[in-house]
Amino acid sequence: MEYCVTTKNNDSWYIGTNDFDLFKADKTEAIMFQGNGYLGIRATAEERNLNERRDMFVAGTFDAFNDEVTELPNLPDLLNMEIVINQRAFSLSTGLIENYHKHLNLKNGELVRSFDWLIDGNRISFKFSRFVSMSDVHLFVSKLEITSDQSDLSIKLNSGIDGQYSNSGTQHLVEGDKRLFDGKILQMQEKTQQTNIGFAFNVTQKAYIDEVLLKVKPNIRMDRRQIFDEYNVDLTKGEKFTFVKYANVYTTIDNDVGHDTISDISMDAIKRSSLLNYDELLNKSTNAWNINVWQRSLISIDSDDVKPQVAINFARYQLAANTPKDSRMNIGAKGLTGEGYKGHTFWDTEIYMLPYFTFTMPEMARNLLKYRYLGLDGARKKAKANGYWGAQFPWESAWSTDGEMTPPWGSVDIVTGKPMRILSGSLEQHITSDVVIAVMQYLSITKDERFAEEMGYEIILDAAKFWASRLEWDPARKKFVIDNVIGPDEYKEHIDNSAFTNYTAFWCIQKAIAVVGLLRNSNPEIYNELNLRLKLDDAYQDWISKVDLIFLPKPNEFDVIPEDDTYLQKKIIETTQYQSDGGHAKIFKDYNLQQINDLQVTKQADVLLLVFLFEDLFSDDIKLANWNYYEPKTTHDSSLSFSTHSILASDLNLADKAYDYFERACEVDLGTGVGKSAQGLHMASIGGIWNMIVEGFGGIRVLDGQLRIEPHLPSKWNSLHFEINWHGSLLKIDVYKDTFQVSVLGDAITFINHNEIYHVAANSKIEIPISIEVNVED
Ligand code: BGC
């Protein structure tokens, strides 16, 4: 396993670099991203550099340009500091740089960059520190310290708000007022072009020599979309110059403040923040990280190699830094870490990120699921527009109620030279099942009846209505089929009877039938209310008449489940040369999508995802046969692929494969692949890091509402320790080479291990030997 970042003194909480590499900059900026789920800022340097992507986003502030789909606007830069020392503009590309260190402390999100700048015979020491606050989501604080033991310095520093940034050329923001208040607060207001979301940005700054605050008159420079304050300071040799920049952002869609007065509210807030110093504000933020994140979901790995622990610390950090707490918005496929995928949300959340939140922070999971509930009207409109009933969830979504946001056109086809049509928005329909999978998992793990009654049941029922209306009768098969879709394997378009789609549609309808049964018996009041709105009596009849006639692709004579009706008849090619690191689709150098459609080449886990998620429907022999068939045909051109492969390999006792895929998943962002992550981190793959450790190596699974624990500790690890919530109790699970222990904090629980049922009394512990299974690795 090789990472593009290093730790500091082998401490798994620090990631960074000890040299400035221009060509890695756009990647490491994403990896050392800072955020709090509301505000996100890439780890770009304060001064400008080549190859940088200076992005800052606020979750949910989507805007459209012309008739394009909405995207998160790139906001004015609050980082900037233009520094001139002794008439020399400071830049990493002039003079010499020594002792360079840039590290992100994952524990509290503080980024520190320090180095010596050797210029004109002087050695000048710089230290930049900054954090996006976890205790006050609007706040961003940075600090610069400059010293030289060799000579006096005349420092000119320009710092403020720079709105001359865009989304790769598209300017979403209309410039509003720019003002200086009280001689010390710089404010810029802007609003989005089409969605009319207002922003207020404030900056107030303090300069010190040797801790003594300088009383300087404002020296304001205003330009188009820019407002800066200039500081001119003479520093005597040996003295320290310290500069602290307090910045904040408020928007008219914030749900924690009154909407029309963000100019005043944000200004009062920045005044209050600037009463405290950098360390005091950082301490508050550090406490919030501890309480909100680290104390919630302990996970530690005892291994001689620090990298797995770095990976899981990084994953939990990024999941916290990129997840909004406001249920009107969700996690983007790239979080807030870059422009990629326009900030849009995919099934990535439900299948790859929600297990972490549901098991460790159920209230966050509830918010993320509420987003889908708020999206029901949009989903109903989509179903109706396509001639179906119920709710058809959008493949890509942005603001919860805005519906389908998949762009119609993608990159250029290498054969025709024309842009390729993106069909996922209309054909990738399994998203509707994925939402139900996540809702059911949440309900099984939390037993949150209130969520079920207020939101969950409605999602399940409306999804089933969609699927039932989507089915088509095939007279030849005498079955209901689902034609013309895209499954998880996006290399196959317009396919009939995608195994993943059909099985999950069948399962959704089964769940809805069960929900109706349950409500009719035990909660008639809720049933009547839902029946009135959703016409459940009729829907139920429809489901009952169709469910057992749904065509479910069966394993063939070799136990292989056909990915779709025609996959197994397509040409087989050697795919080793096309196997990717989860990002660079090498196969497109030789084939276009139409050609790949005719090959047995799979982009990412598809049938293998099915047999993992619905493992109780398939025997171990079938799982293994499908692994043997599909794994060599999968190029992993989506980073979502690795974690599923690792977990399934753990289940199948393919220990080496499981660990290999684990390492490859960790390397998606942390690895050395140049250019990867520049557009933003791969949040689903990051969620997958937790899944691989807890569901794969830890062997945690929810099967038909029951908890199963069957650990598979990697041979390179001495032990693994993690915590999960189950039915309101906290379970601490310690996995060793030969045994594992389950300690319960709270009410008694029950779990299954190798078909045996174990009961653990309230607040007690159980130890179970790990049975050695036959390793079927070839
Ligand atoms: C994958 C999808 C995924 C999307 C966003 C695509 O490349 O094939 O499954 O949802 O990326 O991460």
CATH code where residue 111 lies: 2.70.98.40
Q: Is the distance from the beta carbon of residue 604 to the nearest atom of ligand 1 less than 6 Å?
A: yes
pLDDT value of residue 410? 84
Q: Is the distance from the beta carbon of residue 500 to the nearest atom of ligand 1 less than 6 Å?
A: no
pLDDT surpassing 60 at residue 774: no
Nearest CA to ligand 1 atom 8: 638
Residue 231 placed within a domain: yes
Q: Is the distance from the beta carbon of residue 540 to the nearest atom of ligand 1 less than 6 Å?
A: no
Confidence of residue 94 (pLDDT cuts 50, 70, 90): very high
Cβ atoms of residues 540 and 516 within 8 Å:
yes
Nearest CA to ligand 1 atom 1: 638
Using the atom order of ligand 1, give the atom closest to the CA of residue 490: 8
Catalytic member of 46, 71, 490, 563: 490
520-551 pLDDT, tens digit each: 999 999 999 999 999 999 999 999 999 999 99
pLDDT value of residue 418? 86
Q: Is the distance from the beta carbon of residue 684 to the nearest atom of ligand 1 less than 6 Å?
A: yes
Nearest CA to ligand 1 atom 9: 488
Question: How far is residue 295's CA from residue 727's CA, in Å, rounded to a whole number?
Answer: 19
Number of folded domains that form the chain: 1
Question: How far is residue 539's CA from residue 551's CA, in Å, rounded to a whole number?
Answer: 20
Residue 413 placed within a domain: no
pLDDT surpassing 90 at residue 1: no
Q: Is the distance from the beta carbon of residue 434 to the nearest atom of ligand 1 less than 6 Å?
A: no
Residue 272 placed within a domain: yes
How many A from CA of 411 to the centre of ligand 1? 15
pLDDT value of residue 582? 65
437-474 pLDDT, tens digit each: 999 999 999 999 999 999 999 999 999 999 999 999 99
Q: Choose which residue among 490, 641, 643, 677 to substitute to test ligand 1 binding: the one with the highest number of ligand atoms within 8 A of its C-beta.
A: 490
Nearest CA to ligand 1 atom 11: 638
Q: Is the distance from the beta carbon of residue 348 to the nearest atom of ligand 1 less than 6 Å?
A: yes
Residue 326 placed within a domain: no
> What are the structure tokens assigned to 24, written together?
């890695």
Nearest CA to ligand 1 atom 6: 638
Residue 194 placed within a domain: yes
Using the atom order of ligand 1, give the atom closest to the CA of residue 640: 9
CB-count burial class (<10 Å; 0-12, 13-18, 19+) for 195: middle
Q: What is the DSSP secondary-structure string of 194-247? A: TT--EEEEEEEEEEEETTEEP-----EEEETTEEEEEEEEEE-TT-EEEEEEEE
Q: Give whole-number Cα distances, 291 to 298, 385, 544, 578, in Å.
A: 12, 45, 48, 44
In the block, tokens 């136990």 appear at 559
Question: How far is residue 635's CA from residue 346's CA, in Å, rounded to a whole number?
Answer: 21
Q: Output the known binding site for substrate.
A: 347-348, 603-604
102-160 pLDDT, tens digit each: 999 999 999 999 999 999 999 999 999 999 999 999 999 999 999 999 999 999 999 99
Residue 64 placed within a domain: yes
Using the atom order of ligand 1, give the atom closest to the CA of residue 603: 8
How many A from CA of 365 to the centre of ligand 1? 21
Burial string for 689-715 (b: 16+ CB within 10 Å, else e) reads bbbbbbbbbbbbbbeeeebbbbbbbbe
490 is catalytic: yes
How many A from CA of 638 to the centre of ligand 1? 6
Residue 168 placed within a domain: yes
In the block, tokens 């209505």 appear at 465
Confidence of residue 403 (pLDDT cuts 50, 70, 90): very high
Other Cβ atoms within 10 Å of 166 Cβ, number: 13
303-338 pLDDT, tens digit each: 999 999 999 999 999 999 999 999 999 999 999 999
How many A from CA of 488 to the centre of ligand 1? 8
Strand order in the sheet with 34-35: 34-35, 39-41, 56-58
Name the DSSP letter for residue 490.
T
Per the structure, the complete domain to which residue 135 belongs is given by 6-296
Residue 63 placed within a domain: yes
Confidence of residue 775 (pLDDT cuts 50, 70, 90): very low
pTM flag (> 0.95): yes
How many A from CA of 372 to the centre of ligand 1? 18
How many A from CA of 600 to the centre of ligand 1? 19
Confidence of residue 772 (pLDDT cuts 50, 70, 90): low
